[in-house]
Amino acid sequence: MDKIKIGTQVTAKVRHTNVTVSGTFQGYELEDQEDPTSVCGKVFYVKDGMQHLDYVYVDSIKVCKGEDEDERIRKALIDGVRQIRCKNGITQEQMLAYLEKQKEQKPAEWSEEDKTHLCWIIECFDSWKYQVPEFADQYQSAIDWLKSLRPDSYKNCNSRWKPSEEQMDWLESAVKLSIDKPHIHGIIISLYEQLKRL
């Protein structure tokens, strides 16, 4: 069996259904902890706007060839954007058009609209790292790639509003007060962590 790096783009057959899926390899695991022969692979993929992490047959895993890293990441970003509703006046269609444009775009000066789209998409993926922690590595990989597109453009993302120290103190108090309310505690912690990074 060849060694496959986590994060590699693969195709594989899902155990028990034999459906072939294409996504990123997430490692190996025992499907049945009491059965040493139940080793299977795990593949993360997006289908119909939903995220899936499925067990796949080890001998069915095939590394995708012929597609460069940038193109694979661009496609993964498009799958992720398909799950986003309109936010901050930017529609899903605008974000998808922006990512499609990157396929043909030669190095050139970015418009303010391009920079706004870049900043907003990075913020979305950054927030998802905390909402879906099992895919935090994939989101961080996408964030790093987006930042590498135009490092100078991303610097402008950080020149926006930041919460005051007093606001952060109040939010920290809200985190402590919400500890016995699990349905909102995670949301408040996520908001607090994101604002701390501004």
Question: pLDDT tens digit string along 164-187?
Answer: 788 888 888 888 888 888 778 778
pLDDT per residue over 57-99, tens digit each? Answer: 999 998 877 555 666 677 777 777 777 666 667 777 787 777 7
Judge if 154 and 107 occupy the same domain.
Answer: yes
Q: Are residues 141 and 82 in the same domain?
A: yes
| Confidence (pLDDT) at 1 | 58
Question: Does residue 74 sit in the same domain as residue 140?
Answer: yes
C-alpha distances in Å from residue 46, one per residue of 54, 59, 78, 99 = 11, 22, 10, 17
Rounded CA separation 177/154 (Å): 35
Compute the C-alpha angle 125/131/137, nearest 5°: 55
Most confident of 41-50, 85-94, 142-151: 41-50
Clarify whether residues 87 and 46 are in a common domain. no
Q: State the alpha helices, DSSP H only, in the chain.
A: 69-81, 92-104, 112-131, 136-149, 151-155, 165-177, 182-196
Percent of the chain topping pLDDT 90: 8
In a shared domain, residues 153 and 78 = yes
* Number of domains the chain contains: 3
Q: Which residue has better confidence, 107 or 122?
A: 122
Among 23-27, 60-64, 100-104, 157-161, the range scoring the smallest mean pLDDT is: 157-161
- Report which secondary-structure segment, H or E, holds 25: strand 20-30
Same structural domain for residues 129 and 144? Answer: yes
Q: What is the pLDDT of residue 109?
A: 67
Same domain, 58 and 79: no
Same domain, 136 and 175: no
Across residues 110-117, what is the average pLDDT?
A: 76
Among candidate residues 71, 20, 27, the one with its CA nearest the CA of residue 47 = 20
On whether both 148 and 190 belong to a single domain, the answer is: no
Give the amino acid at 126: D
Which band of pLDDT confidence, cut at 50, 70 and 90, is reported for residue 41? very high
pLDDT class for 150, splitting at 50, 70, 90?
Answer: low
Residue 35 within a domain: yes
If asked whether residues 59 and 74 sit together in one domain, one would say no
List phi, psi (to 5°) of 13.
-100, 130
Question: Which range of residues forms the domain containing residue 41?
Answer: 9-63
Sign of CA dihedral 118, 129, 162, 90: positive
